[in-house]
Structure formats: C-alpha cells, structure tokens
Chain A
Amino acid sequence: MEHLLKLEQERDLTLDDCIKCSACSAQCPVAAVYPLFPGPKSVGPDMERLRLEGVRLDTSILSFCSNCKTCEVTCPSDVKITEMILGARQAAVKAKNVSSRHKLRDAMLGRAEYLGILGTISPGLTNGILGISSVRWLMERSLGISQLAPLPKYQPRFKGLRKSSAVSGLTQSLKQEPPSRKRVVYFPGCFINYNDPQTGEAVVKVLEHNGYEVILPPFHCCGVPLQANGNFKGAEDNAKKNLALLAPYLQEGLPVVASCTSCGLALREEYPHVKAEGAERIGLQTYDLFEFLWELHKRGELQEDFHEVPRSLGYHPPCHLKAQGIGTPSVRLLRLIPGVTIDDLDAGCCGLSGSFEFKEEKYPLAMQIGSHLFKRAQEGVAQGKFERLITECGGCKVQIEHGSGVKAEHPIWVMMEAYGLSDIRLSDK
C-alpha cells in the first residue's frame, strides 16, 4: 500500500506539469478513430483533478484507453498520463457499468497464461476449434470476443531448446567447451511460450552463439494483460511470483533479457514498484534483447561473424518499445549485418494493443487505428522497398499480417540467418 501511496503522490505532482497543450490527444490513436473517447488529456490529467476532488465520473470510457502509452511518449512535460488512466480504472474496477458478459471476457483475456496452458495441451485441436466460424460466432455472442479478431494460433509450448532444434554445428561446438560463466536470464513471455516457441528457440540460439548460458525459470505471465483487463491485483501477484523466481539471479547481478517489448516494459516500469525482493534491481538489470546485444557489441563481445543477408526489411517499432525510451536497438544492430537494409516505418500503433482488438466493441476501432501502418506496409512491398516487416512484438506481428497481408517476423530471425543458425530461411518461414 505504501508504494501505491507514493505512486499516487508522484502522479499528483505530475498533474501540475500538464500545460494543456493537447499534444497527447492529437497523437492518441484511439481518439483519432473514436469520437466518444475524448483523448488522453481529458481522461487523464483533466479528469484526474476532478477525481482527486472526489467527483464521481462515468468510468466506462476508461476501458477505451488501449494502454499503448503513445500519450506518455508524446508528452513534452513528462506527465504520467496512462498511469493516471490506469489508476482511475483500478479505482473503478468494481464498476457497475461493465456488462457481466464483458467482465467474464476481460477476466479471460487477462489470463493469457491460463489460456495458453489450456490451448497448448493440444494445440492442433484448439486451433481447429478456434478456426470454426460458428465457434467464433458463438464466442462473440456469448463472451463478446470479436469473431473477426486474429486470435494467434497455439503451438507446442516453448521449453527452451528442444533437442531437435539444437543440432546446429555452432551451438554444438559451444556445448563441448567448458561451461562458460557468462549467464543470462531469458524472460520469454506468453506469446513465445504458447504461440511462437520457434522464436524463443532462436533467441536462445543467438544468445548461446554469443557464449551465454541461457537460464529459463518457469516464469508466469508478466502481468500486462491482467492490468490491461482491469485485474490489478492479479498483475501484482504475477509480478511477485516472477520476482521470487528472479531474485537469486538478480542478486548475482545477472542480466535479464526480454524479447517481447511489453514484458520488457513491465519488468522495467512496473516491477520496480512492487514490494518484493528483487524489485530494487529488476529495472536496473532488465534489457530488451537487442539492447543487450548492442551492449555486447559496444564492449566488443558480440560475435560479428555475420554472413551477408541481402534483405530489405520494413521495421515497425512496437508502442511498448517506444515507451521504454531506449530508441530502436534492433534497427541499429541489424544494420551491422552486411546486406541488410531497414526502412523504419514508425507509422503508429498497429491497433491490436494486447487484447484490445479481441473485444467485439473495439475490433473495428483497432483495425482503423492500424490502417495507416497496413497501408505503408502494403505500399512498401508493392513498390519493392522491402519484402516483409520485422517487429519485436508478437501482437503487432499477428495484427500486421491480419491487417495488411504482409509477413512480419521478430528481428531475431535476421540474426539467425546472419549467423547461419537457421535451417529455415527467413523467406520460407
């Protein structure tokens, strides 16, 4: 409670930093497509003033904030706008104006981890069932999960490197050397765990190729889906569980890497506020995967035995990477590989925003939000500027493919190809 109080005090202080310039509302992807959402300035700092005075306001509009944090990145005065909105949502969690149907749905979508565990018991069967249009229709009618939304396909769970995939010569040769003392903790996140284990394996291979032993504790969901769906208590519980798993490694000073930008953001921004051992170190020791690889490059420790990769790629920076305030390390790093050219599209939010788009009432908005990016992706491919997109976020990847039909991949696959570690070429994936 103490830390919550402190957070609230900090929030109150930044309230006065808002100079009402409206820059955030001008950049808000939701306000641009949804007239009932008055924009982050209004629902954030403006209404916060009233909320602090105890004025009761309609809270239903708060759920239309997609938690993309574009407002916080935009704000020139460092006002914690999304934090204010999330705080207000937390206060209104028991709001009466959420239909029970949506309550159940939000509770489910928040539990990406449980859905993942269930879905991966028999991925083929789950995907089969979810592929039946009448099932999706029923899900929309009963739960309010949009039948059009691109639910990511389930795959056999990520368990680190499975034997079959660890046959590459280089990985093998490293294994025969005496165990290295370079160790790194990898936080894969739900998307890797349940929907894209191959990318998780690629991350491990690239880290191993650089002489790292990769530690994979049995992490839980980072908590972002829970928070975004109003389960703040659940998010904090998950943070505590994960911190308990991390604490001994943090104590040792080991770096933690995240290949998902939302998990990474949670570890850096939310976890330090949790009252648990390790909270004081987690922000200091967490790295975005490519930020970590760039640090290795700076220290001269990155394996730079790159093969030429003659690829032109478009890059979509995920909102939660931007919110970390670390630039675009994957673009910087991939440009070290001979042959790679990258067009950083920076065409705004893809619209998916975690589970925002999966909700029936939000699906059309999400598609409209992403339309600018889809168009840029399609034009880029049509004009031969690039062949496909790369993006760190699994959600963005799914959405880009759904909205534009252009293939998207995690940038680690370019590293895989450059290292000659991939049996499958990027273009065949």
Chain B
Amino acid sequence: MWDGVIIGGGLAGLVAGIRASERGKKLMLVAEGTGSLTYSSGALDIGAIDLLQRSEKHPYALLQEKSIRDGLAYFQTLFPEYRENAEKPPLVLTPLGSCRTGGLAPAGLIADRLSQVRNIVLMAPKGMKDFFASVVKANLEKEFCQSTVRIYPFQVSAFASWYQVGRPVNGIEYARFWRTETGMQELGRLLGELTQDIEGSSVAVVFPGLTRVFSESLQKLLAQFPFPVVEMTDMSPAFGGDILHEALKRKFKELGGEMMIGSGVWQADCEGKTCQQVRVKSKGRDSILKAKEFILATGGVFGGGVEVTPTGAQEKVLKIPLFLPSEWTQAQFLREQPYARLGVEVDAALRPLDPQSGELIFKNVRVVGRMLAHWDPWVEFCGGGVSVATGWLAGETL
C-alpha cells in the first residue's frame, strides 16, 4: 500500500511528489511519457495573482494568496536559481527575439539587462534549428531600441558532420553540448575570442541554445566573461523544460519517490467516494497500485488527461465529470477560447466535485495542474503558477 500514487509526471505531479516525499510519504508516480513539461521553455508563468484570485472558481481563488505564495516560495527553495520578482516580473526572450514576461525564470534567461546596454552581440550558432538570426536581430532592435545588434556567427567542430550532411542542430543538442567537458572548453575559447573582438563596455551577449541552469561549472565559466550573457527560450522540445523536468525527477527520486514512466494508468477501481487502486498498463499485465490517496495530475487536452471526442470531453482515468463551457470556441483564433477553461471543479482541498450538484466525488483524490477547471493559461499567463501552487498544496496535505 502506497501512501500516495501520483498519476501524471508533469510540473504539478512532480512538485506534489517532491513535497509529499519530503514529508516522509511513500509515493509512486505513474506517467504515460515524459510529460509536456519537456515542451516548455523552462520559464514558468505566474500571472497576476491578486487579480486572478478574485476571479470566481479560478484555482488561485480556491487557494488564496498565502498558499500560492507558499507554493512559489517552496519551488524557489528547491531551485534557488529560479527567481521571481513579484513587484516587477522579469523579461525573457522568445525564440524569435521578442520579449515577454517570465514569472519564475532561471537567472540566465532574464533579459532585463539588455535595456541597459548600447551594444548587443547576437550569437548565431551554425545550423541551429528554428533560429533565424536576422529575425531575432530585428526584434531585439525593436525591443531595445537604444542598442545596436550585431550578429556573431560561429560554428562548433563537434557538429561538423551535422553541418556536412545538412542536418540542423536542435537547440537542445547545442545546450547539451555546452554542458560537456569538450563543450565548456569550446565555449571558453569562443567567448575568449569574442572578448578580444568586442569594443567598448556597454555590451551584452544574447546566446541561443545555451542554458546554464543546474550547471555550476557552466555558470562559473560564464561569470568569468566580462559581459552579461543572456539566454533565449527555445522552440519545443526545449532544453529549459527538459532540464527542469530532469531536476524535478532527480529531487523526487533522491527523496525516495519511485516512477513508472511510459506506462500510464488506464483504469481506477473505486468504491463509493474512495478510490482503492489504479491499474497501470505495464507490459504483459497490469500493475496494480493500492494507495491511501491519489493525486490526479494528468494534464489537460494537450497533456492527454482529457480526451475530446466529437460528442464531448472526458477525464480519462477516474472518469470525473468535467465542467464544460456552453460554447467551446469563438471565431477569432487568437482571442480567448472558452474550451481552455474546461476541467475538473474542486473544493479548497483540491478534491473533485460534481460540476452540476457540487457534491464531492472522491474523498481521497486531489486534482492538480492543468486538469483543473476555470482557468486559461494562454490568456492569463498563469500556467506554471497554478501547477506549482496546486502541486505544492496537494503534496503538503497528502
């Protein structure tokens, strides 16, 4: 019998697992694959907490400010390299070189420094997939009009055969390379050459395909360089999300948590308002996991927690009835889409409720992250915050 089984291995599920393991609980986490966290840039959106917590039924409204703040603070104690500035959310660069606010972002991504320099050097790694130096340059010049942007093309001998056969190098591949010993030597050399080449002092470097978070040696190396180096977020699957996912997994395992990845729960056996056990699609036969409590962190439509069919939408594991908006879509593609708010309604302890009657469905199930109803990550920019805060609360109270 496990103290808890977590279904879903994204941000919310892992944060819940880490907090509960830290409290001494025995936990198993089951996930269908690596989870959509690996698609993310690694910068977590928080959103306007004070505003959103006044919005009826919003997860922030259920949690209230103290829980949200505690959850976010907890995340920062886990990963001190992630910084939040509640007063003035930091800027991060998109893969196209424009700016957006990044609620909780690793220090290397924070781009505010660019507004204080007159010269920006844009590193242009040869053959990098989905990186368009001239577009990024144009956007940087628009965003930071006080400065001139110079493109600095370079190539890396380790990828010579990539260049030769014409295979693009993903940002993730560049980012992994810089973390190897050879990569760091090459980076040291490259930055050394650049230092020789740069004139003046009001300079910052923008470096796509480089991520220093969770690598002390890379941070040390970059600190030796006389100019600030600002990273860019990358197209998915992006290294920033991947490395955060790895770091979360590692923390969870270090604390004694166990994971079954690549299988996934396909059914739950329940009695009345209690979920007894779940069935995992292991090879050959189901693995049966009994637990005192369950955390449902399977994500939304994109993450695979909700299945949408021509006739409706269904929560796949526990078959919890979903809140569904009366109109699903609206004509203007880039405007708010009502379907984004579909999901499971919960009480303040994150336990699922029937959206019609408001009645409690399961006493020993908590729902976290994207599966929750009444929020829209694309309009409210609060995806990371909701996942971290609800995950933390579930882990804190399991």
Task: Check: A169 CB closer than 8 A to any chain B CB.
Answer: no
Report the Cα distance A265→B253, complex, angstroms. Answer: 24
| Across-interface contacts of B262 in A (CB, < 8 A) | 72-75, 322-323, 325
Q: Determine whether the beta carbon of B282 is less than 8 Å from that of A76.
A: no
A344 to B253, CA, bound (A): 7
Quick one: given A325-B287, A346-B253, are A77 and B304 in contact (CB under 8 Å)?
Answer: yes
Question: A267 at interface (Cβ–Cβ under 8 A)?
Answer: yes
Kindly state whether residue B259 has any CB partner on chain A within 8 Å.
yes
Known: A32-B176, A76-B304, A331-B258. A23 touches B39 (CB 8 A): yes
A325 to B161, CA, bound (A): 36
Stretch at the interface among A149-157, A281-289, A413-421: A281-289
Decide if A272 touches B284 in the complex (CB within 8 Å): yes
CA distance A282 to B285 in the complex (A): 9
Chain A proximity mask over B277-301: 1 for CB below 8 Å, otherwise 0? 0001111110100000000000000
**Do the beta carbons of B237 and A26 come within 8 Å of each other?**
yes
B172 touches A26 (CB 8 A): yes
Contact of A283 among B32, B36, B285 (CB under 8 A): B285
**Chain B minimum-CB-distance residue to A22:** B237
Asked whether B236 lies within 8 Å of A325 as measured between CB atoms, the reply is no
Please give the distance in Å from A86's CB to the nearest CB on chain B: 15
Q: Which residue of A lies closest to B266 (CB)?
A: A78
Of residues 237 through 282 on chain B, the ones whose CB sits less than 8 Å from some CB of chain A are 237, 242, 249-250, 253-254, 256, 258-264, 280-282
Cα(A327)–Cα(B259), bound, Å: 6
243-282 of chain A: CB within 8 A of chain B: 265, 267-269, 272, 282
Question: B283–A23 contact, CB under 8 A?
Answer: no
Q: Tell me how far the C-beta of B246 lies from the nearest C-beta in chain A, rounded to whole angstroms.
A: 9
Q: Is the CB of B285 within 8 A of A284?
A: yes
Across the interface, B33 reaches (CB within 8 A) one of A32, A76, A326, namely: A76
Given contacts A26-B242, A326-B260, contact A76 B283 (CB under 8 A): no
Q: How far is the CA of A282 from the CA of B283 in the complex (A)?
A: 11
Q: Given the complex, which residues of A lie within 8 Å of B35, measured CB to CB?
A: 76
The smallest beta-carbon distance between A72 and chain B, in angstroms, is 6
Residues of B158-182 contacting chain A, CB below 8 A: 159, 161-162, 164-165, 167, 170, 172-173, 176
**Most chain-B CB neighbours within 10 Å: which of A23, A75, A283?**
A23
Other-chain residue from A78, A265, A284, A322 in contact with B32 (beta carbon distance below 8 A): A78
> Can you list 7 A-B contacts (CB < 8 A)?
A22-B237, A26-B242, A32-B173, A72-B262, A272-B284, A325-B260, A344-B253
Q: Which 10 A-B pairs have the closest CB atoms?
A: A268-B284, A325-B263, A283-B284, A76-B33, A73-B262, A268-B283, A26-B237, A325-B282, A327-B260, A35-B162
